[in-house]
Chains A and B, each alone.
Chain A
Amino acid sequence: MAELTRRRQYGVGATGGRIGHLLDSERVFGYVLVAPAILYMLLLVGYPFAIALWFTVSDATVSHPIGPFTGLKNLQFVLDDDVFKRALANTLIFTIVSQILQMILGTSLAFLLVRRFRFRRIVRGLVMVPFTVPVAIGAMAWNWMLNPTYSVVNWLGTHLGLLAPPGPNWLGEETYAMVSIIIVNVWRNLPFTAIVLTAAINAVPKEIIEAASLDAAGWWTRWRKIMVPIIAPIIYIALLFSLVFTFTDMTVVWLLTRGNPVNSTHVISSYAFVTGVLSGGLGRGATMSLFLFPVLLAAAFMLLRNLKARSID
């Protein structure tokens, strides 16, 4: 009561009266303010996810979204589909190979960017370009660079003596198409890996490194005993994110090859798009998308553990 009187006296209570008093309870205030976010996410992420689960066990099509219950028929169909099996394998290949290349090149680039040099900001800006340009646009630029007739990559390659003229048909031959997709994925994600690593390396206190140098610790010992333990948690998070993004992305594949030649370069999400959206097979498409879920769940779990561990310190 005393508080209310005081508030009236100053005339600053934004929400006077009963509601204002209720909002002053920490718990009610918390729930009320966080509710819109939770509701939005439940309605547009939770609910659709439930629909997706229903789609996987029903014969849903675009014309009959509420199809009859068909049990595991969709799963059976999807697992018998050779294109899907190939897409599943491709997704794993693209993700793993791109991640490895990104980590190797990203670490090298990070160590170069840590150094102070002239025009550092400009160079950093240029190196960051692939990450800052919308994915669809980057992928389209590469499509043009790898064009069968006007490929500038082939022109440069043959003139530098790296490729035998006339150079490969990058997007038209299976192996080269796979390589192209990996190159564009690496191009796209390398800056992210590098910039997170640079930030991580910069976060290592200089005194520790100097102290280690004074103790005559060699380059390898300094790296392994000091740098790695400090930057590991950050790399871990960066890796998780870029893993999830590469694993679930369909933009690069869709804009480079549309899954061609002869459906050999599809990934899970691009084939789910073809099946679910273009052919209208909601049930089968949703079943395919659901194959992304275990990896997402694992990533979420690892991220969660990491966050929990940090909030305890």
Chain B
Amino acid sequence: MTAATLRRPTHSLGFRLRRLRSNVLFALALAPFVLFAAFPVYWMVITAFKQVNDLYNLQNNPILFHLAPTLEQVQYLLEKTPYITWFINTIEVGGLVVLITLLICVPAAYVLSRTAFPGSTTLGIGIFLTYLVPPSLLFLPLSQLVVGMGLINTKWALVLVYPTFTIPFCTWLLMGFFKSVPREITEAARVDGCSRLGALFRVVLPVSIPGLLTIVIFAFTLVMQEYVYGLTFVSSSDQKLITLGVVTDLVRGDVFFWGSLMAGALIIALPVAIVYNIFLDTFVEGITGGALK
């Protein structure tokens, strides 16, 4: 091919002006949305890295740095608060919740998506509907249940309760994944002498690894996002998960440690936001129940 054929066709001046105008209008329409959505995060960044003298100086333009950025607030967070403990708690609780979720969801989603037995459709929809049950409906009785089991004010209460919202959501998502595994594969495995369970472990799960990974990530981020159950069940600093710890322990009486609070918030928010963005389409599909297919 010659260079001439690759060159873009030249448009008339009028066309280019019209295109320019349309692009400018488009950008003007989109900009307010982007600002509204992302400004709080910019503000978190500014707050987290400003020196205290700069942050609380009303004479300055607040949206810019006037003194050199500092890691003081991050340092305070790591050294003077149990941030590391909260982080470890989150990993522990998140890990256990993910494990429980997988152990319960995988078999349930498999049979609900594959085998027709009396009541299977109703059960599937029933599990999905429990996703609508909000913490604010159950936090009082659950707190008594947790007291009865001697788990109040420990992170283990959260390990017990969090699967109530990860199970419905993850079962529903997994059902979608399993449905997309061609039936012929499992049938072939059965003909070759695999039991039903064998077919699940040897054939369906290996090809559903992306789906399982999605479940793991969603269950974990749901744990990181939770606030109400944590607030109700856990009051000791050393038992808190990261989100709860940051928004409760960095407020002492009426004094807010805004810099450290925003630094702590930012460290949680960024990875969750990035992961969600990668899996956004899956999430949307899960929540609309595959209505788009």
- Please list the residues of chain A having a beta carbon within 8 angstroms of any beta carbon in chain B: 6-7, 9-10, 12-15, 20, 23-24, 26-27, 29-31, 33-34, 36-38, 40-41, 44-45, 47-52, 55, 65, 105, 108-109, 112, 115, 117, 123-142, 144-145, 149-150, 152, 155-156, 187, 190-191, 195-196, 199-200, 203, 233-234, 237-238, 241, 244-245, 248-251, 254-255, 268-269, 272-273, 276-277, 282, 285-286, 289-290, 292-293, 296, 299-300, 303-304, 307-308, 310-311
* B120 CB–A CB distance under 8 Å: yes
Cα A126 to Cα B133 with chains together (Å): 30
* B288 CB–A CB distance under 8 Å: yes
CB <8 Å contact, B193 and A12: yes
CB <8 Å contact, B292 and A129: no
Q: Which residues of A contact B38 (CB under 8 A)?
A: 126-127, 129
Q: Given the known inter-chain contacts A13-B195, A37-B105, A255-B247, please indicate yes or no for A49 contacting B110, CB distance below 8 A.
A: no
- The stretch among B9-17, B77-85, B264-272 that forms the contact with chain A is B264-272
Most chain A CB inside 10 Å of its own CB: which residue of B58, B132, B292: B132
CB distance from A228 to the nearest CB of B (A): 15
Query: DSSP class of A's interface residues: helix, strand, loop or mixed?
Result: helix
Q: Given the known inter-chain contacts A40-B164, A112-B29, A199-B292, please indicate yes or no for A244 contacting B134, CB distance below 8 A.
A: yes
CB <8 Å contact, A12 and B198: yes
* B277 CB–A CB distance under 8 Å: yes
CB distance from B91 to the nearest CB of A (A): 16
Q: Which residues of B contact A129 (CB under 8 A)?
A: 37-38, 40-41, 273
What are 17 A-B interface contacts by the 8 Å CB criterion? A6-B193, A12-B195, A31-B117, A44-B161, A45-B130, A65-B144, A128-B277, A136-B227, A140-B247, A141-B43, A152-B43, A199-B281, A233-B291, A234-B288, A248-B137, A289-B137, A292-B136
Q: Which residues of B contact A131 (CB under 8 A)?
A: 276
Cα A55 to Cα B140 with chains together (Å): 9
CB <8 Å contact, B193 and A7: yes
CB <8 Å contact, A123 and B111: no
- Please list the residues of chain B having a beta carbon within 8 angstroms of any beta carbon in chain A: 23, 26, 29-30, 33-34, 36-38, 40-41, 43-44, 47, 55-56, 58, 61-63, 103-105, 107-108, 110-112, 115-118, 120-121, 123, 125, 127-130, 132-145, 147, 160-161, 163-164, 167-168, 171, 192-198, 201-202, 224-225, 227-228, 231-232, 243-244, 246-247, 256, 258, 261-262, 265, 268-269, 272-273, 276-277, 280-281, 284-285, 287-289, 291-292
The A-B contact count (CB < 8 A) is 303
Q: Given the known inter-chain contacts A26-B115, A134-B224, please indicate yes or no for A41 contacting B168, CB distance below 8 A.
A: yes
* Beta-carbon nearest neighbor of A194 in chain B: B33
Cα A7 to Cα B192 with chains together (Å): 8
CB <8 Å contact, A41 and B194: no
Q: Which residues of A contact B161 (CB under 8 A)?
A: 44
Q: Given the known inter-chain contacts A24-B195, A37-B104, please indicate yes or no for A289 contacting B136, CB distance below 8 A.
A: yes
Q: Which residues of A contact B56 (CB under 8 A)?
A: 150
Cα A237 to Cα B104 with chains together (Å): 26
CB distance from A48 to the nearest CB of B (A): 4
Q: Given the known inter-chain contacts A29-B115, A112-B30, please indicate yes or no for A13 contacting B193, CB distance below 8 A.
A: yes
Taking a contact as CB atoms closer than 8 A, the residue among B135, B247, B281 that contacts A137 in the complex is: B247
CB <8 Å contact, B136 and A27: no
CB <8 Å contact, A45 and B144: no
Taking a contact as CB atoms closer than 8 A, the residue among B58, B108, B261 that contacts A149 in the complex is: B58
CB <8 Å contact, A133 and B193: no
CB <8 Å contact, B265 and A137: yes
CB distance from A286 to the nearest CB of B (A): 5
CB <8 Å contact, B129 and A304: yes
CB <8 Å contact, B108 and A37: yes
18 new A-B pairs (CB below 8 Å) besides A34-B112, A273-B139?
A: A15-B198, A50-B141, A51-B145, A129-B40, A134-B272, A136-B247, A137-B265, A145-B40, A199-B292, A244-B132, A248-B134, A249-B136, A250-B228, A273-B231, A282-B140, A290-B137, A304-B125, A310-B291
Q: Which residues of B contact A237 (CB under 8 A)?
A: 287-289, 291
CB <8 Å contact, A277 and B261: no
* Beta-carbon nearest neighbor of A149 in chain B: B58
Q: Which residues of A contact B138 (CB under 8 A)?
A: 45, 48-49, 52, 289
* Beta-carbon nearest neighbor of B251 in chain A: A140
Q: Given the known inter-chain contacts A45-B138, A133-B269, A286-B141, please indicate yes or no for A127 contacting B34, CB distance below 8 A.
A: yes
CB <8 Å contact, A36 and B104: yes
